[in-house]
């Protein structure tokens, strides 16, 4: 086994995910980390293989059940492939059906399938979540080469029939260490049944080009960290083996939103939590204390702290939190009072406090040994 991370975590799915969800998530990760899209990036290749390992287990109900009950130990009697030593192309052939290929189907069957979904990330601030935000994403996708319309052949020429597979696109091969034989895409033409003899200069015969794309994305207010905005038809065209011109349409782009943590406000669902510094005098005598707001342009608000309020008390200000993603109804702002002790006293303050302290039945001496003895007694339980 090449990895020790939890398979559900690798595929970024819940433990209760359906087979379809597992498949979709794997397809998205495989596209994201595919070496074609990350040339020379060994980390991406490792992530690609890790995802394949997780998918092999979670897509098989028996192996998944064993993994759910016993973890990796449950898989000992059902060993999987060692994806680390496999070629990326072989992994693709293995899971061909989910990538829209036809190795799992009948010979020579060419079915139009929608293209791949892609995933990209965007960083937003907590304040963006409050109001929603229009932001830009930059990502690259393999797109249909415009010069040759995806055929891979130099304009004016045509691809010719593949001599290795006779045009069927499939060959029988000894699979994975010779343990069994399997029908896979023809390695010479990658399943297309045709080969390009006179290549298009722009895509070097591949029919696809890596294209950088910028898009404006509207992130709705109330979105949570890790949630995605889907941009329909902004993914990749179908694989060139199946649909050179990409006419069946592109997949979708999933823009996963990463919400930066805020130094002052903590988010709890649709509520916001903030520490509200108050002085001893404010707590003791009561005060109207303004509360900090996430959006400085918002109308001010305050809490009425009654006299005799304790440090750590909580005040809830309704409707000053984050808007619910679906309802639009704002959560609350939760202010936790935090007493601030002055680090310095001037002479007058000291004198006043001393006089105050004399009225209390408390000894004022930071090094009072009896205090530490009491703590020790409490800790040791004597």
CA distance 251 to 53: 24
Q: Judged by CB under 5 A, which of 31, 148, 196, 305 binds Zn ion?
A: 148
Tell me how far, at minimum, the Cβ of 169 lies from Zn ion, in Å: 6
Q: Based on CB atoms, which residue is closest to Zn ion, 203 or 333?
A: 203
Q: How many CB atoms lie within 10 A of CB 261?
A: 10
Min CB(83)–Zn ion separation in Å: 25
Angle between helices 42-58 and 61-70 (to 10 degrees): 100
Q: Does 145 bind Zn ion (CB under 5 A)?
A: yes
Pick the stretch among 33-41, 130-138, 145-153, 250-258 that binds Zn ion (CB under 5 A): 145-153
- With CB under 5 A as the contact rule, the residue among 13, 31, 47, 189 that binds Zn ion is 189
Residues in 296-355 that interact with Zn ion by CB under 5 A: none
N- to C-terminal Cα separation, the chain? 54
E-strand spans in the chain? Answer: 118-124, 133-144, 160-161, 170-175, 180-185, 194-195, 208-219, 228-231, 253-259, 265-268, 271-278, 287-290, 302-305, 314-317, 333-339
Out of 165, 259, 283, 334, the residue judged to bind Zn ion by CB under 5 A: 165
DSSP reduced 3-state for 356: helix
Q: How far is CA 256 from CA 179, 225, 262, 274, 314, in A?
A: 41, 8, 19, 26, 34
Of 36 and 268, CB closest to Zn ion: 36
Binder among 131, 135, 164, 279 for Zn ion (CB under 5 A): 164
What element of type H or E holds 80?
Answer: none
Q: Tell me the closest approach of the beta carbon of residue 239 to Zn ion, in angstroms.
A: 15
Extract long-range pairs of 1-5: CB within 8 Å, 24+ residues apart: 1/53, 1/72, 1/75, 1/80, 2/49, 2/50, 2/53, 2/82, 2/83, 2/84, 3/50, 3/53, 3/54, 4/72, 5/50
Stretch 193-222: interaction string toward Zn ion, x if CB under 5 A: -------x-xx-------------------
**Distance of closest approach, residue 180 Cβ to Zn ion, in angstroms:** 21
Tell me how far, at minimum, the Cβ of 104 lies from Zn ion, in Å. Answer: 18
Question: How many positions of this chain bind Zn ion (CB under 5 A)?
Answer: 12
Taking the complex as a whole, how short is the minimal distance between the CB of residue 153 and Zn ion, in angstroms? 8
Q: Which CB atom, from 115 or from 169, has the smaller least distance to Zn ion?
A: 169
Shortest approach of Zn ion to residue 181 CB, angstroms?
17
* 153 lines the binding site for Zn ion (CB under 5 A): no
CA dihedral for 291, 293, 297, 298, sign (positive or negative)? negative
- Residue in 186, 240, 276, 322 binding Zn ion, rule: CB under 5 A: 186
In the set 88, 98, 176, 188, which binds Zn ion (CB under 5 A)?
Answer: 188
32 vs 192, beta carbon nearer Zn ion:
192
**Pair type for strands 265-268 and 180-185:** unpaired
Residue 240 lies near Zn ion (rule: CB under 5 A): no
* Residue 147 touches Zn ion, criterion: CB under 5 A: yes
CB of 208 to Zn ion, least distance (A): 8
> Which residue in 122, 133, 131 sits closest to 257, CA to CA?
122
Three-state DSSP class for 375? Answer: helix
Closest CA to 132 of 122, 140, 147: 122
Positions in the binding site for Zn ion (CB under 5 A): 145, 147-148, 162, 164-165, 186, 188-189, 200, 202-203
């Amino acid at each position: 086994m090449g990895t020790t991370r939890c398979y559900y975590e690798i595929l970024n799915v819940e433990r209760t995910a359906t087979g379809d969800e597992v498949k979709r998530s794997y397809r998205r990760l495989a596209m994201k980390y595919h070496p074609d899209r990350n040339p020379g990036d060994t980390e991406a290749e490792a992530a690609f293989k890790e995802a394949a390992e997780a998918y092999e287990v979670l897509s098989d109900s028996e192996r998944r059940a064993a993994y759910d009950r016993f973890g990796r130990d449950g898989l000992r009697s059902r060993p999987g492939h060692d994806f680390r030593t496999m070629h990326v192309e072989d992994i693709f052939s293995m899971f061909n059906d989910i990538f829209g290929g036809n190795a799992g189907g009948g010979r020579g069957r060419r079915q139009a399938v929608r293209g791949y979904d892609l995933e990209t990330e965007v960083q937003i601030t907590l304040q963006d979540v409050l109001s929603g935000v229009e932001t830009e994403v930059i990502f690259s996708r393999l797109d249909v080469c415009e010069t040759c319309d995806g055929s891979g052949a130099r304009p004016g020429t045509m691809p010719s029939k593949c001599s290795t597979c006779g045009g069927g696109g499939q060959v029988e091969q000894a699979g994975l260490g010779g343990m069994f034989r399997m029908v896979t895409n023809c390695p010479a033409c990658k399943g297309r049944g045709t080969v390009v003899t006179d290549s298009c200069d722009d895509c070097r015969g591949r029919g696809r080009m890596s294209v950088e794309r910028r898009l404006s994305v509207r992130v709705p207010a109330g979105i949570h960290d890790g949630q995605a905005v889907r941009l329909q038809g902004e993914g990749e065209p179908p694989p060139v083996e199946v649909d050179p011109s990409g006419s069946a349409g592109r997949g979708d782009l999933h823009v996963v939103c990463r919400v930066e943590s805020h130094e002052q406000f903590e988010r709890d669902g649709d509520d916001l939590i903030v520490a509200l510094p108050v002085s001893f005098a404010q707590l003791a005598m009561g005060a109207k204390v303004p509360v900090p707001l996430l959006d400085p342009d918002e109308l001010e608000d305050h809490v009425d702290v009654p006299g005799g309020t304790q440090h750590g008390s909580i005040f809830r200000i309704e409707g000053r939190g984050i808007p619910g993603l679906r309802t639009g109804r704002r959560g609350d702002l939760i202010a936790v009072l935090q007493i601030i002790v002055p680090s310095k006293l001037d002479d007058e303050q000291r004198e006043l406090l001393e006089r105050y302290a004399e009225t209390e039945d408390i000894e004022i001496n930071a090094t009072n040994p009896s205090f530490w003895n009491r703590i020790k007694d409490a800790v040791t339980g004597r």
